[in-house]
Structure 1
């Protein structure tokens, strides 16, 4: 990006709806974590993948195992969550929905303590008047099966009621080659019935057509990736029809998909298919630390790859407000912020 582009995309107010906490840890924060734990012999190249590199999905998931070794105390988690929030704010993100799977740590932190710590980081940033509104999605890791999924939903329900709107939903994620969504349907339905919003990773790999049909019947409130939903890449008109009929927004993460090799290139990304349909799409980072990116870069890549001007990118960022899981009051406040910033950004 030239300087003018960098300034525009940084100043463009943005909404980030698909950001995994542990995958969003920056180089700078990693440096602090690595210095704290020299005995682990972890180096930077083990925690991030350069944009010029390509990895299998399995190799991408291996990176998270390394990061979890570094983030294994309450103190680590608080620092990571606080740094991630402030970095998104510095990149012009005005509304952020973080997501993470609650983990028990050998140092004694419980799953409840894990979520408590993330909430504490959100509240600290608010007290410091960091210019960003943050919400949290509790994540179900599909690898952990039905029983753990039910426990995770119960935890999310408790925090939804006790955090004054900070916990707004549930994420379904994890290695898409493991397990089947049918085993998680009771937990997801329970979450939906309790008032939690659902963001589900769907059709990340070609083998998930049957699962996608089942999960779309819920239906979810947003879709993560949706790479293989449409018929041009082996999906089906039936899947597309369900997504369009229910107006389910897609969270699209271009660099993540290109590096992870689920799409061949930026130009062949499924953003184009859904954008041409006029369907709601939100540009996201997925794992800004692991994939060495930020939201400004993702917006710029969409614009340059698909020939979209600044007005189109402004419209896309503003329309993302309609897709957030927070209340209508929050949406109205964000709309006002965009209106105030428009003359300065689109000058």
Structure 2
């Protein structure tokens, strides 16, 4: 992959990025060429298949963009190459550490096992020059309990061997967080740390359940302000929120961005972070997310540093990595 001409003077951390949501048109072409797959469109038409515009109607339209990437990610070679290309693209954009997540159960349509998928992504990330952590996603659903248990077992086996944590992703509005109590009881016993997508398509109660299960971070969490007591709990416990501004805007998790609560949460001492979620679908990158917060909400340079230090402290990694990140973001500032 050729290096970008764009200059990124800053250093960034991205804690919430889905591998299949980071397949840009150039990556899609590479994966298709590798596998002899004819893409359904080219140029601008291909871009439209992989992304949404400013007129995105709802979350359903947003989710349609995953269809093509998933078709391209059903072999070990494709998963390996995609993980490498996504990580390299982020490194070129100024990211110094990223936690990339994917659901191995979604990549078994052509005979791969979940283990095959995990091994492939670990290999791809290890080839990159970017420091990364891998998060395995269990999926919300009504008939995939065994698949989720297998994902959890793999996370336990691969913990600190390429995998850093677990997550629960999928249709939060259709499959309530409370339905997964048994799964997370077993995950707690395993000792694998985890985050949970909550407070995005569903409300504050979803976040409460995630905390009851033992989540040490919350994916999105944008709707915690529906419950003032929960806002206080999140602040007091220092629970990081993996917030994704343009994703929340385009999926209508927040209907009116004038009401986007990020800056309010920051002022209350909540450990908010800024992330891309699905950068290819949103046509964004981490620098663009920060620029959006600066131009739309007046986020200052000092607040930007605070947000990045929040991310450094929130990573699913050891203290040595956390301190290295803090030193990169704010040289000379002692560890908290």
TM-score, normalised by the number of residues in structure 1? 0.86
Aligned 1:323-342 pairs, distance under 5 A: 323-339=314-330
Q: Is 1:171 paired with 2:173?
A: no
Q: Which residue of 1 aligns with 2:28?
A: 30
Please point out which of 271, 291, 297 is paired with 2:282.
Answer: 291
The two structures, once aligned, show a CA RMSD in angstroms of 2.2
Q: Is 1:218 paired with 2:213?
A: yes
Q: Which residue of 2 aligns with 1:118?
A: 121
Structure 1's 241 and 86: CA in aligned 2 closer, same or farther, altered over 3 A? Answer: same
Partners of 1:311 and 1:238 in 2: CA distance: 28
Aligned 1:257-336 pairs, distance under 5 A: 257-336=248-327
Deviations 1:232-255 (A, max 9, x none): xxx212322332232111011011
Q: Contact 2:156–2:190 (CA<8 Å) still a contact in 1?
A: yes
Q: Which residue of 2 aligns with 1:101?
A: 103
Q: Which residue of 2 aligns with 1:148?
A: 147
Q: Contact 1:145–1:184 (CA<8 Å) still a contact in 2?
A: no
Aligned residues: 321
Q: Which residue of 2 aligns with 1:87?
A: 89
Q: Contact 1:189–1:218 (CA<8 Å) still a contact in 2?
A: yes
Q: Contact 1:255–1:266 (CA<8 Å) still a contact in 2?
A: no
Aligned 1:37-52 pairs, distance under 5 A: 38-39=37-38, 41-42=40-41, 43-50=46-53, 52=54
Structure 1's 120 and 108: CA in aligned 2 closer, same or farther, altered over 3 A? Answer: same
Partners of 1:264 and 1:332 in 2: CA distance: 37
Give the secondary structure class of the aligned counterpart of 1:228: helix
Partners of 2:230 and 2:299 in 1: CA distance: 27
Partners of 1:80 and 1:168 in 2: CA distance: 19
User: 4+ runs of 1 displaced by more than 6 Å?
Assistant: none
Q: Contact 1:185–1:215 (CA<8 Å) still a contact in 2?
A: no
Structure 1's 238 and 339: CA in aligned 2 closer, same or farther, altered over 3 A? Answer: closer
Partners of 1:83 and 1:295 in 2: CA distance: 16
More displaced 10-residue stretch of structure 1: 64-73 or 107-116: 64-73
Q: Is 1:239 paired with 2:237?
A: no
Please point out which of 2, 11, 14 is paired with 2:12.
Answer: 14
Structure 1's 269 and 210: CA in aligned 2 closer, same or farther, altered over 3 A? Answer: closer
Partners of 2:78 and 2:274 in 1: CA distance: 28
Structure 1's 34 and 326: CA in aligned 2 closer, same or farther, altered over 3 A? Answer: same
Structure 1's 276 and 338: CA in aligned 2 closer, same or farther, altered over 3 A? Answer: closer
In structure 1, runs of 5+ residues without a counterpart are: 1-5, 343-347
Structure 1's 341 and 27: CA in aligned 2 closer, same or farther, altered over 3 A? Answer: farther
Please point out which of 221, 224, 232 is paired with 1:229.
Answer: 224
Deviation at 1:216, TM superposition (A): 2.0
Please point out which of 119, 133, 146 is paired with 1:135.
Answer: 133
In structure 2, runs of 5+ residues without a counterpart are: 1-5
